Chains A and B, each alone.
Chain A
Amino acid sequence: MENILTAKGLTKAYPKFTLGELDFEIPKGFSTALIGANGAGKTTLIDVLCGVIHKTAGDVTYFGTEKDIDREEVREQIGYCASQGFFPAAWKPKDIAISMELAYKGFDRELFNKLCEEMEVDNEFSRKPVNMLKQSDGNRMRLALAAVFARKTDMLILDEPGSSLDPLMRDRLCDRLRDYLDEGNGEKSILFSTHNIADMENAADYAIFMDKGKMIERGFVEDLKDKYIIVRGEPADYDKAKALMLSHNVNRTTFEGLALAENARAFEELSAVRERPTLQQLSVGLLKHAEENR
């Protein structure tokens, strides 16, 4: 399978936090979810990949051959959007339209206004549009998404696009992401970060799990769901089951945990229920496991 982005030994060092070293690939034609708790380094990674900040060491290859994020052609093809405070506080939709139309060859101003309307936020023709400072977090994100979707790109890199949206809008965002992949017919790819994958399970094909600047697991979602199982059983069996589980919790009526599917047989004796995990369950289990084994 082809990759849209490959990172080797990628590092970003700060006095109090270091991202990396990271080695990973992002598959072409799919949507990749970057999953991690707050402070895992998701935003730092995205900012490095988009050239907002610069890496300390390592290599990133974009679109198979491009190595330099500062090249105009590379930035033109990447549709980036920050999690919050993307556009200047004093800006109104018109400022966004003017600026982006000049900055990007592939920006479609008409489409931007149409997308704003679809996402139910002011566009440049609205009466008395308000500036970014006065918008709610959700509306700011909608505007930023409308702006990025109005560009002609080959890859979207979105930092927490769903977090500030209401459930309905988040659902529409997922639709739009799938539309983007469908439009690209295997040529367009998405990377988005989230600390809460529950509402975006069906928009993720590949998942990368992060903890404290490191990657703890990655793979195609369906493969990961085959690799792990969720186990549920009687509290009495908890002590025996504990050793086989990566992360677990117990209460008066039941215990639950994440285990490797290869250990499934061992749970049979305990008459524990085994389930194929959802991406959300997988996230919680893996992140908890990483946190406990730091």
Chain B
Amino acid sequence: MQNSDVPIYKQIAAQFKEDIMNGKIAEGEYLPSIRGLARDLKISVITTMKAYEQLAEEGLVSAVQGKGYIVNPQDREMVREQHLRLLEGHLQNAIESAKLAGVSREELINMINVLYDV
């Protein structure tokens, strides 16, 4: 059994991954400097570094000597797949909540239709 507390570096990596996936940080952009981010987030430099290294391992960013970490061009197919996986997760949560609240299938679809147009 593993404790559920996620290490900070993983949390940071996940946040950046999300931002890169949904285009908040565009390809070719640099991530904040390691020591600058450590300062802003009030965490140690090595933790930030480890988060960036993980992103680099996953191929999302690359280290540029002396300049920091740059966001790589993202594989569109892969990005879409990632998004679909996220969507599926969220829908599953929605369905679970609907069942708990006694919301029928039709009602749920209606709700989605309404919200989709907003």
Contacts and interface: CB of A to CB of B under 8 A. Distances in A.
Are chains A and B touching in the complex at the 8 Å CB cutoff?
A: yes
A206 interface: yes
A271 interface: yes
Contacts of B44: 31, 201-205, 221
Given A30-B45, A205-B45, A182 B1 contact: no
Interface in B1-47: 1-3, 5, 7, 9, 33, 35-36, 38-39, 42-47
A30 B46 contact: yes
Given A31-B44, A202-B43, A271 B1 contact: yes
Contacts of A45: none
A275 interface: yes
Nearest to A222: B50
- How many of chain B's residues touch chain A, expressed as a range? 10 to 19
Interface string A61-72: 000000000000
Nearest to A176: B39
Contacts of A204: 44
B86 to A, nearest CB: 26
Interface in B40-70: 42-47, 49-50
By size class, the interface of chain A is: 20 to 34
A67 to B, nearest CB: 28
A273 interface: yes
A225 B45 CA distance: 15
B39 A179 contact: yes
B46 A205 contact: yes
B45 A275 contact: no
Contacts of B9: 222
Contacts of B43: 202
A174 B38 CA distance: 11
Nearest to A267: B1
A47 to B, nearest CB: 26
A175 B1 contact: no
Interface in A184-235: 184-186, 201-206, 220-222, 225
Nearest to A190: B45
A274 B35 contact: no
Given A274-B2, A276-B7, A185 B42 contact: no
Nearest to B46: A205
A181 interface: yes
Contacts of B33: 182, 185
A288 interface: no
Given A185-B33, A275-B5, A276-B3, A175 B46 contact: no
- Give the top 7 A-B pairs by smallest Cβ distance, nearest first: A205-B46, A182-B35, A178-B39, A275-B3, A182-B39, A222-B50, A205-B45
Interface of A: 29-31, 174-175, 178-179, 181-182, 184-186, 201-206, 220-222, 225, 268, 271, 273-276
12 contacts: A30-B46, A31-B45, A182-B39, A186-B35, A204-B44, A220-B46, A221-B44, A221-B46, A222-B47, A222-B49, A273-B3, A276-B3
